[in-house]
């Protein structure tokens, strides 16, 4: 089973992802975590990515697709995609790659949280790229570049929307229902 968790920055994708991979025995692929590991390691890719991330913009599709390809090819088990795909080009790239492996996406879970709650949550989280200006830019980038994926997956009949407010357990119970169906 391959699952995508989709939602605005701060919607709680990371937290729900932890629960999902534990419960459904999937491999967690978070492009945000992979990029932060590159930054930590001081690699050239990390250096280039940091400038873009600090502005709240998106790392290029080419870099992202290059970064995930071997992980997907060599995963050998079901995967949970968190923070990826983020653009239509990435979604098409993922579909193409999975198809070449005789596989595909089974479920796309959209975590739905309203904008005000998102800004509050992210300011409370206080990560490096969580200042108010960057947050607003990331929400705008999400609306412009990632929100079209909702239609993309709805057209494929794969999209389920889950209300993303409440406790971690409450939200996970909703996610679980979707993934068990």
Residue with Cβ nearer ligand ADP (73 or 177): 73
State how far the Cα of 129 lies from the Cα of 89, in Å rounded to an integer: 24
What is the Cα 13 distance to its own chain's centre?
7
Contact string 100-139 vs ligand ADP (x = CB under 6 A):
--------------------------------------x-
Q: Are 14 and 139 in contact (CB under 8 A)?
A: no
Residue 35 lies near ligand ADP (rule: CB under 6 A)? yes
Question: Tokens representing 142?
Answer: 């999400």
The region of 6-14, 69-77, 94-102, 110-118 touching ligand ADP under the rule CB under 6 A is: 6-14
Residue with Cβ nearer ligand ADP (41 or 157): 41
The strand order across the sheet containing 107-112 reads: 27-30, 79-82, 3-6, 107-112, 159-163
Least distance (Å) from ligand ADP to the CB of residue 32? 2
Residues 51-80 that bind ligand ADP (CB under 6 A): 52-53, 56-59, 64
Q: Are 139 and 115 in contact (CB under 8 A)?
A: yes
Residue 164 lies near ligand ADP (rule: CB under 6 A)? no
What φ, ψ does residue 6 adopt, rounded to 5°?
A: -120, 140
The region of 48-56, 109-117, 151-159, 171-179 touching ligand ADP under the rule CB under 6 A is: 48-56
73 is catalytic: no
Catalytic residue among 22, 96, 127, 177: 127
Residue with Cβ nearer ligand ADP (40 or 102): 40
Q: Angle at CA 147, nearest 5°, toward 15 and 48? A: 70
Q: Are 41 and 67 in contact (CB under 8 A)?
A: no
86 is catalytic: yes
State how far the Cα of 153 lies from the Cα of 147, in Å rounded to an integer: 11
Residue 12 lies near ligand ADP (rule: CB under 6 A)? no
Catalytic annotation, residues: 13, 86, 125, 127, 138
């Amino acid at each position: 089973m391959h699952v995508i968790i989709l939602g605005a920055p701060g919607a709680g994708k990371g937290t729900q992802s932890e629960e999902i991979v534990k419960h459904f025995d999937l491999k967690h692929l978070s492009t945000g975590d992979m990029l932060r590991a590159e930054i930590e390691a001081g690699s050239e890719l990390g250096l280039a990515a940091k400038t873009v991330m600090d502005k709240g913009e998106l790392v290029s599709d080419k870099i992202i697709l290059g970064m995930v390809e071997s992980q997907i090819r060599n995963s050998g088990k079901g995967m949970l995609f968190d923070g990826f795909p983020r653009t239509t080009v990435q979604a098409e790239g993922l579909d193409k790659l999975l198809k070449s492996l005789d596989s595909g996406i089974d479920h796309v879970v959209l975590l739905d949280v309203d904008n005000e709650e998102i800004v509050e949550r992210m300011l409370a989280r206080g990560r490096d790229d969580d200042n108010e200006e960057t947050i607003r830019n990331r929400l705008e980038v999400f609306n412009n570049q990632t929100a079209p994926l909702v239609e993309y997956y709805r057209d494929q009949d794969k999209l389920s929307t889950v209300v993303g407010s409440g406790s971690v357990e409450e939200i996970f119970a909703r996610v679980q229902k979707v993934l068990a169906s």
